[in-house]
Chain A
Amino acid sequence: MDWNEMQVQQPTVMNMLKRSIEKDRLAHAYIFEGMRGAGKKAVAMLMAQSLYCPYKQDAAPCGSCSECRRVEHGNHPDVMLLEPEGASIKKAQVEALQKELTYKGMETEVKIYIVNDADKMTASAANSLLKFLEEPESPTLALLLTENVHFMLDTIISRSQKISFAPPELERRIEMFEAQGSSKTAAALLAKLPDDVGGNYTGENSDWIVQGRALVIQLVEEVHHRPQQMLLTLQEKWLTHFKDREELDIGLDLLLFWYRDLLTVKYGQQNLAYPDLTERLEQQVILMSETEVAKRLQLILDAKRRLRANVNAQLLMEHLLLRLQEGS
C-alpha cells in the first residue's frame, strides 16, 4: 500500500496527516476510527514509515528503503504493534509495551506504537495504557485503531486526536473479502452486510454464509413457485441453519438483499448482492410491480423489528413467509 493510493481512498485523512508531518506538528496520540477495510492499519504503517524514511518526498515514504521495509515487515525495533490475543487486548500486553517504552529507542528518537482494535482492550488494559498515553517519558507516537470508537474509554478518547476514516467503497470491500478467501458470490453478500457481521464469516467461516445464501435462494423460489414446500424447508433447513437471534437476523438480511436486488434489477442498476443470479432475478421481477416488491421489503423489515422484540423465531418466519407469498 503506498501513500498515493491511500491519498485517493482517504483524501481528507491523508491531507491532514500530510500537513501535520510536513509542519512537524504531529499530536502524541491519534485514534484512527473507521470501518474494517478503510485502510487504518495501512495508514498507520505509512505514518511510521514516513517518520523514519530518509528518502521521503514531502510526507510520502519511499517504501523501498530498508527503514520502510523493516516497518512493513514488523522488524523495526522502535515500532511496536499490539493486537488482540484471542478476544481482547490483555493488561499484560499493555504492561509489556509500557516496559518497552521505558527504554530509550534502539535506533531512533521517536518510538511508535500501534494498537490495533484498540476498543478490544480490557478495562484494566485501557487504564494501564492511559498512564503512559498522555505523559510518556520520551517522545512517542501512539496510533490507536478502532472500528467502534464508542467502546473506548472516554478518558482515552479525550487524550487523543480522533481521525475518522471514510467507509471503503463497495467494490473495495468485495475485493477485501475475496482477498480473505471468500468466494466471489459470498464476497458480494458479505460486503453488503454490516461491518461487524460480515467480518465474522470470512475465510474458514465463509461456508456458513454460502449455505445461508443457498437457503435464501431456495426459499424465495418456493415462496413464489412452490408454496406448499416452503414451510417444510423453513422447518427442516432454515431454522436449523439460522439458529439464534443474531444468526436469524443475518438470514433476514440476506432475504432482504434478494428483494432489494429485485428492485435494483428492475431499474437496471449495478452492485447486486446476488450478481450471478441476474437472470433469475429478472424472471421473478417481471411478475411483480415495484409496489409489490417494496411491500415485501417492508414486510421483512417489520420482521427484523419484531425479532428484536423477542418474538418466537418459528412463528415469526412462518408469518413472514405466508405474507411474502400472498404479497400483502
Chain B
Amino acid sequence: MHFVIQREQFVHSVQHVNKAVSSRTTIPILTGIKIDTSSEGVTLTGSDSDISIESFIPKTDEENEYVDIKETGSIVLQARFFADIVKKLPGDEIEISVQDQFATTLRSGSVVFNLNGLDPEEYPRLPKLEENQTFSLPQNLLKDMIRQTVFAVSTQETRPVLTGVNFENDKEQLTCTATDSHRLAMRTVATETDNDELSISNVVIPGKSLSELRQILEDTNDHVQIVVTDSQVLFKFKHLLFFSRLLDGKYPVTNNMIPEQSKTTMELSTKDLLHSLERALLLSKEAKNNVINFKTLEGSVIEINSVSAEVGKVTEKITCQSLEGEDLRISFNGKNIIDALKVIDSEFVHITFTGAMSPFVIRPGDHNQMLHLFSPVRTY
C-alpha cells in the first residue's frame, strides 16, 4: 500500500474513527485503526466491537484532489500513537507506505515515522449491507429522537434488552421506545423510504451506541440513511458510516401498556412544572427515593409536596391551564418526570391520569409524536 494524502482531511477522518476505538478492549487488533485504499479513495475504520466507525476520503471531489494512490492495500496501525502522530505532523501532505511484515512508513515534510503495523486480515469484518431494509431521516430529527428517548433506558444489566432503544416501524411511521420498566419514553416520526415492504421490528440499539452517535450527528437537515441488518445497524452519512451492534433478545411489547381512557386530565406549563419539581426534589433527594406527592385541589390548582423525615417538607401550588375529571392523589418518582420534561420542547404539557395506582402519561401540548409513561409509587 502506498498513498499520499492531504493532512487536514486525513486528521479529520482519523479523529472521527478514533472515537470508536477503546483502550480497554480484550481483542488486541481493535486497538488499531484500519486503513484501506482502493482505486476510489481511502477508508479508515475504528471499532470497539460494540460500535464501529468507517470514514471514507474520496480520491477527488468537485474541487480538490485529496489522495494520490500509488498502490492499493490495507494495514492496521495502533490507534493510540497513530492519531497523535498525524495530528502533530508538520507538512500539508502525508505519505504512507507499507513494506514487508506490515512495517509502515509515514512521511510528512522532513519527518519520517516508522511504525509496526498489524495484519489487516485479522480485523473484524463489518457486515455486508443488504440495501432493502433502508430508510432515511434528517440528521437533526434523529438527534432529537435520540435525545428524547435514550435517557429512559435501563442502566441495570438484569434485563439487558432494556439497555437499548427499540426501533419499530409501522407503514411510514417509525417508533422509538425506551424503558427501564418504571418509565417509558416513546417518540414517533414519519420516515422516508423507497421500499414499501420495509419492516423493522425488535431492532434494539444499545443506549450507549446512540449517545455516541448523537455526538456525530449535526444540526442540519441533511439526511442520514439507516440500514438494518441481522446483527448490526448502520447509519450512513456522506463520508462516514456508523455501525452499532444490536442487542439480543425480545423487546417487551409496550403498546398495550399505554392507557386508553383517562380519569383526570390536565394541561399546564412545562417550565412551571419542571421548576416546581426541581424544588421539591431538593428535599426528597435527601431521602434518596425521589418521591414526590401530587394532588389536585379546587379550581384548577395542583399541589406538589415532598417530605423528608430528617430535613423537613416543602409544599407548592401550581395553577393549571385546565384540569378535568376526578380528584386525584398520587406519588411518583420526581427524578423520572424531570428527565422527561427536560426533553419536551413544547411550552405546555398534557398529563392524563387513570387513578392513583395506574400509570400516567405526559404528552407535549402541541403535537402527538411523543409520549412519556410513568408508573406511580406506592407510599402507604
| A contacts, CB < 8 Å to B | 66, 69-70, 73-77, 80-81, 95, 98-99, 101-107, 137-138
Contact = CB atoms under 8 A, between A and B. Distances in A.
A75 B157 contact: no
Contacts of B157: 95, 98-99, 102
The 4 A-B pairs at the shortest CB distance, nearest first, are namely A102-B160, A104-B231, A75-B29, A75-B122
B125 to A, nearest CB: 6
A274 B353 CA distance: 86
Contacts of B26: 74, 80-81
Given A74-B27, A99-B160, A66 B122 contact: yes
B246 A103 contact: yes
Which of B121, B230, B248 has most chain A Cβ within 10 Å?
Answer: B248
A102 B161 contact: yes
Contacts of B127: 107
A98 B156 CA distance: 12
Contact of A103 (B123, B230, B248): B248
Interface in B4-57: 26-30, 49-50
A103 B230 CA distance: 12
B117 interface: no
Nearest to A80: B26
Interface string B109-122: 00000000001011
A103 B28 contact: no
B122 A105 contact: no
A69 B123 CA distance: 11
Given A76-B27, A137-B160, 9 more contacts: A70-B121, A73-B28, A80-B26, A98-B157, A101-B248, A105-B231, A106-B231, A107-B125, A137-B249
Contact of B245 (A73, A81, A98, A104): A104
Nearest to B123: A75
B245 A103 contact: yes
16 contacts: A69-B121, A74-B26, A75-B27, A75-B28, A77-B30, A99-B157, A103-B245, A103-B248, A104-B230, A104-B231, A105-B231, A106-B49, A106-B231, A107-B125, A107-B127, A137-B248
A66 B121 contact: yes
Contacts of B30: 75, 77
Contacts of A75: 27-30, 122-124
A102 B247 contact: yes
B49 A77 contact: yes
B206 interface: yes
Which of A80, A98, A104 has most chain B Cβ within 10 Å?
Answer: A104
A104 B28 contact: no
Interface of B: 26-30, 49-50, 119, 121-125, 127, 157, 160-161, 163, 206, 230-232, 245-249
Contacts of A69: 119, 121-122
Contacts of A74: 26-28
A81 to B, nearest CB: 8
B122 A103 contact: no
A104 B122 contact: no
A102 B27 contact: no
Nearest to A96: B26
Which of A73, A74, A75, A99 has most chain B Cβ within 10 Å?
Answer: A75
A81 B249 CA distance: 23
A106 B124 contact: yes
Nearest to B122: A75
B122 A70 contact: yes
A102 B249 contact: yes
Contacts of B29: 70, 73, 75
Contacts of B206: 103
B247 A103 contact: yes
A107 B161 CA distance: 20
A103 B249 CA distance: 9
A265 to B, nearest CB: 49
A66 B157 CA distance: 34
A77 B124 contact: yes
Contacts of B121: 66, 69-70
B205 to A, nearest CB: 11
A326 to B, nearest CB: 61
B49 A102 contact: no
Nearest to A95: B157
A310 B87 CA distance: 68
Nearest to A97: B26
A137 B163 CA distance: 15
A137 B161 CA distance: 10
A107 B30 CA distance: 15
Nearest to A108: B231
